[in-house]
Amino acid sequence: MTAANGIGSATFMIAWDMSGDSYNINYWYIDDVWMGIIDMVEEYNETVSDIGVLPAETINVSLPEWTPSDIPFATTIDYLITAAVSLNLPDEEPSDNEVSKTITLHYEHDVGVVEITEPVNAGPGEYPVEGIIQNFGVTFSEINVPVNAQFINDTGVIFYNETLIVPGPLAPDAQTIVTFPNVTFPENPGHYYSIKLTMMTQLANDDHPENNKKTKTWSWDWDIYPPNTTATVSGTMGQNEWYISTVQVTLISVDNKGPSGVDYTMFKIDDGVWTEYTVPIIVDTDSAEHIVNFYSVDKCDPPNIEQTRNVSFKMDTTAPVFLSYTFTSLNFMQDEWLCSATVVDATSGVTLVEFYVDDILIGEDGEPPFECLFDGKPTNNSQGLAYDAAGNSAFSPLVYSSEMTVQRQWFLRFSSIYWGGASILPR
C-alpha cells in the first residue's frame, strides 16, 4: 500500500500492490480508512470490486481521490489507513488480506501581504491606502483575516493605525485587495518628512509570519535650500603659494538641508564654458591666477540653484629661461670678471640668479640686470642658476675658460698729458 505523505496537500491517492497464488480473484475492495484522531472518526471509505489478477501477478489498484477534512488551526494530523482484500471464495491465507499504515500530514496556515499598491506617490494631501494579500497555503480557505496598516513619521510618531477584517473565504493561492480609509499627509513648509507604511496580516497561528508584512517609505519637503558644494585643490606646492605641478580640483556637493538631493554640478575654468562635473577637474596650464567657478542644482521642482562659488590658485610649472649668460674679463690681467645674465620667466617671474665660477658660488642678484663681480682667475667655467617665484629653477649653459671674453683695454704710459692746465690720467 502506498499513500501520499505531503505537507499541506489537499488531495491524496491511495494505492497498493497485490500478488496472488492460483486463484482468480474477481472481488477486491478497501474496507475502511480511519483518521487517527482521538475518536477515530472514519473520514474515507471506498470499495473497488471485480478486480482480476493472475497467479503470481502484481497489480496496482487505484481508488477515488481523498481530500482530508478542513481542521482549523491543526498543524500536524496522523491518519491510519487500512486496506483490505476480500475474495469471493475461501481464502487459504486470510492473515495477509489486510495491511495498515499510519501517515502524518502537515497542515499549514499562511496568509501574507503581496504588495502595497496605494499610495503610489506622496506629498501633502489625502491618499488612498490599499494592498494585496494572498493565501499562500494549499490546504485551508482562510476566513476573518485581520490586516493592519500603520504609518509612522521620521520622528517615530504613529499617526495612522487601521485594522480591517477580510471576511473571506480566501481560498489557497487566492489574492484579494484590501482597501483602508484614506490617509492625510500634513503640510508644513520647510520641514522634512519621511513617512513609512507597514501593512501586515495578523492571522492567528500563521505558520510563516516572515511574509506577513510589506513596507514602503516616502520622503518629501518644500525644499527651499540649495545644495552646498565645496572644492578641494591638490597638487605639488612650491614657494609663495604657487603650485609647480598639474592641479586637480575635486568638487563635493551635498543637499543636507533639502531632502530632494543633488541633481548635478556645473563648473568652468577661468573664462571657459560651463561644463557638467562628473570627474575631478585637471588644470594643466600656467597662470598667475586660475579661477574655477562652480555651482550645484537639486532635484526639487522647480530646482534650487546654488549661488556660484569659486576657488583660485596660482600655477607655474615652467622653469626660468636664460636668454644669455656672459663671463667677461674687466682688465688685462684677467683677474677681475663680470658675470651677467639675461633670464626671463613668463608666469611667476625671476626672483634670484646665483653665479658660479668653477662650481663655487661667488654671488647672487635678485633684480635685473642680473650681474656679479668676480675677483680672481677662473680655471675652468662659469654658470648661472636662476629661480622664479614659484621655486622652479634652471641653470644657464656653461661658459668655459676658452670661451671667456676679454674686454679690450687701452693702457697709457705713466705720464701726464697736460692740456690747458689740466692733467689727463689714464682711466
The distance between the two most distant Cα atoms of the chain, rounded to a whole number of Å, is 180
* Number of Cα atoms under 13 Å in the Cβ half of residue 350: 24
Residue 168 has pLDDT above 80, yes or no: yes
Q: Which amino acid, 184?
A: T
pLDDT of residue 188: 62
Is the pLDDT reported for residue 206 higher than 90?
no
pTM value > 0.85? no
Q: According to the model, what pLDDT value does residue 332 have?
A: 86
**Cell 636664460 belongs to residue:** 322
- Euclidean distance between CA atoms 51 and 21, whole angstroms: 15
In degrees rounded to 5, what are phi and psi of residue 375?
A: -105, 115
Q: List domains and CATH numbers for the chain.
A: 2-106 (2.60.40), 111-220 (2.60.40.10), 228-315 (2.60.40), 321-406 (2.60.40.10)
What single DSSP character describes residue 259?
Answer: T
> What tens digit of pLDDT does each residue of 301-318 get?
778 899 999 999 999 999
Reported as a pLDDT band with limits 50, 70 and 90, residue 414 is very low
**Sheet strands (E) in 92-192:** 98-106, 111-118, 125-135, 145-152, 158-166, 175-185
Report the pLDDT value the prediction gives residue 367, as an integer from 0 to 100.
95
On whether the CB atoms of residues 97 and 86 are closer than 8 A, the answer is yes
Element (H, E) at 393: strand 393-395
- Region 202-219: mean pLDDT is 88
The overall average pLDDT reported for the chain is 82
C-alpha–C-alpha distance, residues 398 and 415, integer Å: 42
- pLDDT-derived band at 97 (thresholds 50, 70, 90) equals confident
Cα–Cα distance measured from residue 217 to residue 200, given in angstroms and rounded to the nearest whole number: 15
Specify the pLDDT at position 70: 60
For the CA atoms of the chain, what is the radius of gyration? Answer: 51
> How far is Cα 124 from Cα 129, in angstroms, rounded to an integer?
15
What mean pLDDT is predicted for residues 44-72?
A: 79
Q: What is the pLDDT of residue 276?
A: 98
Q: What would the pLDDT profile of 103-149 be if each residue is shown by its tens digit?
A: 877 667 899 999 999 998 877 789 999 999 999 987 788 999 999 99
Spatial distance between the Cα atoms of 403 and 327, rounded to a whole number of angstroms? 9
Q: Are 405 and 327 in contact (CB under 8 A)?
A: yes
Q: In this model, does residue 380 exceed pLDDT 80?
A: yes
List Cβ neighbours of 302 (8 Å cut-off, separation of 6 or more).
none
Residue 371 CB neighbour total at 10 angstroms: 15
| pLDDT at position 258 | 66
**At residue 207, does pLDDT exceed 80?**
yes
- For 21-106, list the strands marked E by DSSP: 33-35, 42-44, 58-62, 76-84, 98-106
Q: Kind of pairing, strands 145-152 and 158-166?
A: antiparallel
86 Rama class: left (phi>0) / alpha (psi -120 to 50) / beta: beta
pLDDT for 294 equals 98
Under DSSP, the state recorded for 343 is E
Counting DSSP H helices and E strands in the chain, the numbers are 0, 33
Encode pLDDT of 229-254 as tens digits. 999 999 999 999 999 999 999 999 99
Cα–Cα dist 290/268, whole Å: 11
Residue 417, pLDDT score: 32
